[in-house]
Amino acid sequence: MRTYCRKWTTAPRTWRKRYRCSAHRMGSVCAKLLPRRTFIRTWNHRRLFCREGWARRKHYTRLWATNAPAVYLGAEVAYFPGISRYAQIRDLCIAGSRCILIEMPFDEWTTTVTDEIIALHECAGLLPVLAHIERYTYHERVLKNLLAHHVLIQSNSAFFYSFRTKRRALRMLKREEIHLLGSDCHNMHTRIPDLARCAEVIQKRCGEAFLQSCAAFGETLLKDAVPLDVLMKKEFLEPGSVSLDA
């Protein structure tokens, strides 16, 4: 679990309305927002992907006057062969940090696949985070190998309150096999922000202190990330943040 992140994917014109609604639902649970789009190398040219994401920054300016959480540029990068050697991979990290969110393939994770993920950390110097672990079928030893090489695991909040999966989710959390949570919010009807509900389950089963320690871990991951409003005000681009050239 370890941090509270949100995923928004719908049209920019709805973001302001969505923030007001979600903030009311979530109370003080969410302190930082991580809106993201999925980067698929065969579909998105990196430069176009970054330019479109950067252009969306203007839609957040109205939120800062409403005491909104900090917003960070980020992406969910679909795994592709050679991802650890991709020259512009740092442009897809959460702005200013070494964290990169990876969507893994839904078929079996071969040794080649896991070695690429490990190489992101050991060779590229990044901190890979595997998105929505509950959606994949994997062998226990494969996950343990990734955890042993400092790969972080993220799950969606529904994993913790679904009747069929919450016991497994809590067991993985206590074993430190889950480090981050995301609401996977897509809209305010069928895929609503629900981190508050998830936090209630964790607090009830694991205690307030455990919940707070998880949140504190997430804060440390974003300590080097640059909020979007700072990027806009200073108008600079540093290595590891979104680059519009090259």
Give the pLDDT band of residue 230 (cuts 50, 70, 90): confident
pLDDT at site 32: 60
User: Which residues have CB under 8 Å from 24's CB, separation 6+?
Assistant: none
The pLDDT of residue 225: 87
How high does pLDDT run on average in the chain? 76
pLDDT band, residue 242 (cuts 50/70/90): very low
DSSP 8-class letter at 98:
S
Q: What is the rounded average pLDDT of the residues 105-112? A: 90
User: Closest Cα partner for 116 from 77, 156, 172?
Assistant: 77
Residue 21: Cβ within 10 Å count:
13
pLDDT at 241 over 70: no
Cα–Cα distance for residue pair 155/173, rounded to 1 Å:
10
Residue 139, pLDDT score: 79
CB 73 within 8 A of CB 24: no
pLDDT confidence band for 233 (50 / 70 / 90): low
pLDDT at 50 over 90: no
Please say whether the beta carbons of 130 and 102 come within 8 A: yes
- What is residue 40's three-state secondary structure? coil
Contact 80, 89 (CB under 8 A): no
Q: For the chain, what percent of residues have pLDDT higher than 90? A: 35
Buried b (16+ CB within 10 A) or exposed e, 3-16: bbbbbbeeeeeebe
Residue in the block written with tokens 């990068």: 77
pLDDT, position 1: 34
pTM (two decimals): 0.73
**202-238 exposure pattern, b = at least 16 Cβ within 10 A, e = fewer:** beebbeeeebeebbebbeebbeebbbbbebeeeeebe
- How does pLDDT run across 176-212, given as a tens digit for each residue? 999 998 888 877 788 788 888 999 999 999 999 888 8
Structure confidence at residue 101 as a pLDDT band (50, 70, 90): very high
For residue 214, what pLDDT is reported? 85
Taking every pair of Cα atoms in the chain, the longest distance, rounded to a whole number of angstroms, is 49
Average pLDDT over residues 137-162: 90
Q: Strands, DSSP E only, in the chain? A: 4-5, 32-33, 36-39, 70-71, 74-78, 99-103, 127-130, 152-156, 180-182
Q: Is the pLDDT of residue 36 over 90?
A: no
Nearest to 193 by CA among 58, 33, 64: 33
pLDDT grade for 96, boundaries at 50, 70 and 90: confident
Query: Which residues in 157-224 belong to E strands, given as ranges?
Result: 180-182
